[in-house]
Amino acid sequence: MAESVFEIRRLKKEDLAKYHAFSDAEVWNVGIDVYEKMFEISPNGFFCAENSETHEIVRFCGAVDIGDNRAIVVSFITKPLLRGRGIGTRVIKKVLEQFQNYEIIVNSAVGREKMYERLGMKKFLYQTNQLICRPKMSKNNEKRKFSRTDLLLEIDDVFEFDQKICKSERKNILKWFFKTSEKGYVAKNEKGEINGYALVRKTPLGISLSPFYAQTETSLRVILENVLFDFPTCDVQICLPIENKFTLKILEEYFHIKISSCCVSKDAPENLALSLTNTWLGSKEDFEFEKSSVVSILDFHFAVC
């Protein structure tokens, strides 16, 4: 089939269900609400490749404006039988045309780094592991005592703390994540100062912690234990900076951990799992944030940390 058969066009709202179905087929563990929100933020930033004869959509890609003249390239996906034919390159170039003079950022899966570098995203930012964590304990078989922490009832309460972690202004997207979360937790020190918080969101395969920040081991453990008490049987998705080896060791006390299917080929050996990292690349300057406090980033569709 000739490449010229495929028309590159702007995405329409009615295409979102198909877009999400593509990601579900790849087991990306992302709810359709995320696609709807991305499209709401940047409706002109999403494109697809459509067969002009059959009207079948075979490729999607977009970018989300995250403020400060930055945009994140997201959900670059092609129908498997048509990969490697240059269709995707045409789509992503169309996306990038909409964000000229922006700093472009991407969370690259293993093996895609060179492609993104050729498209201008040459600056290494940092790396993450996208983890799926299965609890080792449950309400029924674990009598371990732990401290109940405060529930997060107003997202405004953590705005000041959040800016210590991430210097970018992102109140609006935090409000949306809070509104669409199942529950929120906040940890405080002896002086009543916030030193950690987490939002729990439903995903197709369980829950995600989006985000989860903790400045101390105590705040990390108390939030984890509260999440496990309230969601004892759910697989937990966590996106952890690879520098945080100490945090990973603590997570391994509570969970059986594997790499997310969105980051690795289905044929890759399991023992390679944690060596397969996602690489954040950018087109311009570095992106500063407090990596050591990040247990799980806000969400790679909307934020770098």
Per domain, the residue ranges of the chain are 3-101, 129-296
DSSP string, 38-66: HHHH-TTSEEEEEETTT--EEEEEEEEEE
Q: Which residues pair with residue 6 across a beta bridge?
A: 51
Place of tokens 């290494």: 124
Long-range contacts of 20-25 (CB under 8 A, 24+ apart): 22/60, 22/77, 22/79, 23/75, 23/77, 24/204
Contact 123, 90 (CB under 8 A): no
Place of tokens 């799926």: 132
Q: How confident is the model at residue 87 (pLDDT cuts 50, 70, 90)?
A: confident
C-alpha dist (Å) from residue 265 to 27, 247, 262: 11, 26, 8
For 72, how many CA atoms within 13 A lie in the half-sphere containing its CB? 20
DSSP state letter for 139: T
Contact 298, 305 (CB under 8 A): yes
Neighbours of 301 (CB within 10 A): 21
Q: How confident is the model at residue 146 (pLDDT cuts 50, 70, 90)?
A: confident
Give the mean model confidence (pLDDT) for residues 276-302: 90
pLDDT at 285: 75
- Inform me whether the pLDDT recorded for 267 exceeds 90: no
- Let me know if the fold of 3-101 is the same as that of 129-296: yes
pLDDT > 70: percent of the chain: 90
- Note the pLDDT tens digit of each residue in 210-252: 999 999 999 999 999 999 999 999 999 999 999 999 999 999 9
SS3 category, 285: coil
Give the mean model confidence (pLDDT) for residues 91-97: 96
Q: How confident is the model at residue 38 (pLDDT cuts 50, 70, 90)?
A: very high
Q: Under CATH, which number does the domain 3-101 receive?
A: 3.40.630.30
Q: Under CATH, which number does the domain 129-296 receive?
A: 3.40.630.90
SS3 category, 79: coil
- Inform me whether the pLDDT recorded for 135 exceeds 80: yes
Amino acid at the residue 256 = H
